[in-house]
Structure 1
Amino acid sequence: MKNHTKILFALLCCLSAIKTTAQNPIIKNIFTADPAPIVHKGILYLYTGHDVATEQDTNYKMADWRVYSTTDMATWKDHGAPLSPSTFSWATGDAYAAQCIERNGKFYWFVSTFHKKDEVSGGGAAIGVAVSDSPTGPFKDAIGKALIINEMTTDMTYAWDDIDPTVFVDDDGQAYMFWGNGSCKWVKLKKNMIEVDGPITTFKPKNYIEGPWVYKRKGIYYLVYASAGTKPEMIEYCTAKNPAGPWTYQGIIQENVPNSFTTHPGIIDYKGKSYFFYHNGSLPTGGSYRRSVCVDYMYYNEDGTIQKIIQTTEGVSKIK
């Protein structure tokens, strides 16, 4: 009997170890998508979308944008949903992919949703910008109108191409925004972060479909995106010596994710390590419209190219 007790105890210990090391997905109480991390004053803030579709729904339902934070990559503080499409008087529809960045002590949250049909726009996807003095809000509409509307880009014939903004500020202070479904578009932003500064440029990297993430690391510019080379989506990337290009295709870094048609990159260096955020559909009752944010390590080669992302259920280790 004692031996049976020892065996049972050992099994319970193993199950407990599996439970505590299965970090991914990192948010388990709701469905989250489209991760966008930033670091501010030693804290990593993670901005996400929020899937609220039922198991029977066959399309996206995204109620709002949420904020989480961590200092150890293991414990995540929930700051709620300080922003939703209803924040914008001109908006209607869902809370698609977004990214928040800090500049001059203010936090600018660039979001994609849909525009009401009015005298300004015939509807379609649009990009807005909210602003706050804090990374966790409260946020308000920074300009009272959309920054980008469907009528500003005409290379795609459908109305949902102006989605998924990613923004970064270069070393010289120039800010850039990239976005787009079907084609990638970019434009310079003025220093106030709420006005475009010049014409919109459109291009199409190899296999590009949506979800761009643009950043600079050790003198190299990276354009990472969801690809349409195969179905479901994978993550591929290009590099450049200038944010205006030309962009050199580098290959696939993330294969298909479990139980989700889409995936979405969010990349950050934090406390000496590189992290790759994405989403999949691996929570119970999850799926392509009920997604969950995950994080795994990201590694670079000496020449700056990115190694293949290894997707795990364990996730990343707690920072001591």
Structure 2
Amino acid sequence: MIIKAKHFGLITGLLCLGATTVNAQRPLIQTKYTADPAPMVHNDTVFLYTTHDEDDAQGFKMYDWLLYSSTDMVNWTDHGAVASLKSFSWVTRDNGAWAQQVVERNGKFYMYCPIHGQGIGVLVSDTPYGPFKDPLDKPLVWQKEHWEDIDPTVLIDDDGQAYMYWGNPNVYYVKLNEDMISYSGDIVKLEKTPEHYQEGPWLYKRNEHYYLAFASTCCPEGLGYAMSDSPTGPWTTKGYIMQPTQRSRGNHPGIIDYKGSTYAFGLNYDIMHMETFKHHERRSSSAAKITFNEDGTIQELPYWSDTVLEQIESFNPYQRVEAETMAWGYGLKTEKMPDGKIVLNGIDNNESLLLRGVDFGKGAKKFSISAASIVEGGYIEIRLGSTRGQLVGTVEITNTGGMDRYATMSCDVKGAKGIHDLYFCFKSSAQKDNLFFLDHWEFYN
């Protein structure tokens, strides 16, 4: 699991306890290193597809693509890996699962995946959760004379024409056919690359303006953007969504409209910096609300940790909630089991999990959780507001005889009324590490 730096313990404790700091922007995902965030909105839900830096990565060590989802922008559910390099039979590389994007058309979900050094492939699924399969058994695009075929982005315009952009250091595009797995015409290379363009393009449209956001300058990289009146340009560089800063290194944009607001996603090294400032490619995804000027240009954002990401609706605890759903869970891990189930593990004594803005209404009376354990003396304190806040229940996690043998455990709940930040505080009187596996939980009123 991720090892927490001793010098950061006090700071993380303050973040848990301080009511004014809990809304400060921290990386969306803490259980894994996630990069190149590619959001998609479907059925009133944000589906966030990311690349995955391995925990021990020095340089780029990337094998698969992950999925997270949210309906409130702050509490995210882990769905595990939905595709990998092994999803392509023609891929011979064992590393290089770089920045992808998923779009929906006619009830199908298309994932455009760069394989560094082997072009851009496409996978298709009937659901946003996968499984994603290769319909071509070959690359969609591969310009073998160079290694510039990375970081695809796709936009389906209002007239139904789809465009795919990509490239580093040059920018290319094609017009995709309606089947989304082939294209018409030639590959077009932009005659004029937007100023400060590095890589990681993201194509977005708002009103009649087209936006090409990108990782800009180097190094460090910020988030730049250009605008056009046409999906094929010419593109005029407008400036930065976020200035380059020494507080980070790389970046990669994603932009969506969701529930009346527009959000920019990007990456940073903030989770890694909680452990070390020695540089490794271990990145984390963040998001912030963006604002437009009257002429369509974008107001610059400060650095991620200097923004506030507001929760846009309260969280309902009176439903089955996957245990790998959280706003903050530094030190915890998630794992996909052989049966495909995602569980929360890597749970050590005195670690905690936070869900923001949980609406208990007139009051919860009972709590249940599905857990597996091989130790005695484990329990979970249910607290409101902070890790030292009001204790409303304690559930004992008993020895189930195996980490693959789950049982439902429950406790009474008293005092959980209204809207609060919810903390699960993990405890044990007998063991320090790897206390139990958790599957799902639910409150009852």
State the partner residue of 1:6. none
State the partner residue of 1:234. 222
In the TM superposition, residue 14 of structure 1 has moved relative to its aligned partner by 8.3
Task: Select the residue among 102, 107, 110 that pairs with 2:109.
Answer: 107
- Number of equivalenced pairs: 292
Matches within 5 A, 1:139-150: 139-150=132-143
Within 2, Cα distance between the matches of 1:14 and 1:60? 31
Structure 1 range deviating more: 259-268 or 181-190: 259-268
Matches within 5 A, 1:27-38: 27-38=29-40
- In the superposition, relative to structure 1, how do residues 202 and 288 fare at CA in structure 2: closer, same or farther (>3 Å)? farther
- Gaps (5+ residues) in structure 2? 1-12, 314-445
State the partner residue of 1:304. 296
Contact 2:220 2:246 in 1 (8 A): no
Structure 1 range deviating more: 11-20 or 294-303: 11-20
State the partner residue of 2:130. 137
In the TM superposition, residue 210 of structure 1 has moved relative to its aligned partner by 0.4
State the partner residue of 1:256. 244
In the TM superposition, residue 19 of structure 1 has moved relative to its aligned partner by 5.9
Within 2, Cα distance between the matches of 1:31 and 1:290? 6
Matches within 5 A, 1:222-301: 222-228=211-217, 230-257=218-245, 259-283=247-271, 284-285=274-275, 287-301=279-293
In the TM superposition, residue 53 of structure 1 has moved relative to its aligned partner by 5.4
Aligned partner of 1:150: which letter? Q
Deviations 1:128-163 (A, max 9, x none): 000000011111112111111132xx5xxxx43110
Contact 1:257 1:280 in 2 (8 A): no
| Paired-residue identity, % | 47
State the partner residue of 1:5. none
Deviations 1:24-83 (A, max 9, x none): 10101110000011111111110000001526x2x2001210111111111101111010
Within 1, Cα distance between the matches of 2:69 and 2:297? 28
In the TM superposition, residue 236 of structure 1 has moved relative to its aligned partner by 1.3
1:86 match: secondary structure: helix
Within 1, Cα distance between the matches of 2:253 and 2:294? 22
Within 1, Cα distance between the matches of 2:128 and 2:169? 31
Structure 1 range deviating more: 186-195 or 16-25: 16-25
Contact 1:53 1:60 in 2 (8 A): no
1:316 match: secondary structure: coil
Instruction: Kindly name which structure, 1 or 2, has the bigger radius of gyration based on alpha carbons.
Output: 2
1:28 match: secondary structure: coil
- In the superposition, relative to structure 1, how do residues 26 and 14 fare at CA in structure 2: closer, same or farther (>3 Å)? closer
Within 1, Cα distance between the matches of 2:215 and 2:175? 22
State the partner residue of 1:40. 42
Within 1, Cα distance between the matches of 2:15 and 2:26? 20
- Gaps (5+ residues) in structure 1? 1-10, 115-123
Contact 1:51 1:290 in 2 (8 A): yes
Asked if 1:195 is matched to 2:153, the reply is no
In the TM superposition, residue 197 of structure 1 has moved relative to its aligned partner by 1.0
Structure-2-length-normalised TM-score? 0.63
C-alpha RMSD of the superposition: 1.9
Within 1, Cα distance between the matches of 2:126 and 2:158? 22
State the partner residue of 1:174. 161
1:81 match: secondary structure: strand
Structure-1-length-normalised TM-score? 0.86
In the TM superposition, residue 248 of structure 1 has moved relative to its aligned partner by 1.4
In the TM superposition, residue 311 of structure 1 has moved relative to its aligned partner by 2.4
Deviations 1:231-280 (A, max 9, x none): 21122111111111111121122112565421000001100111111000
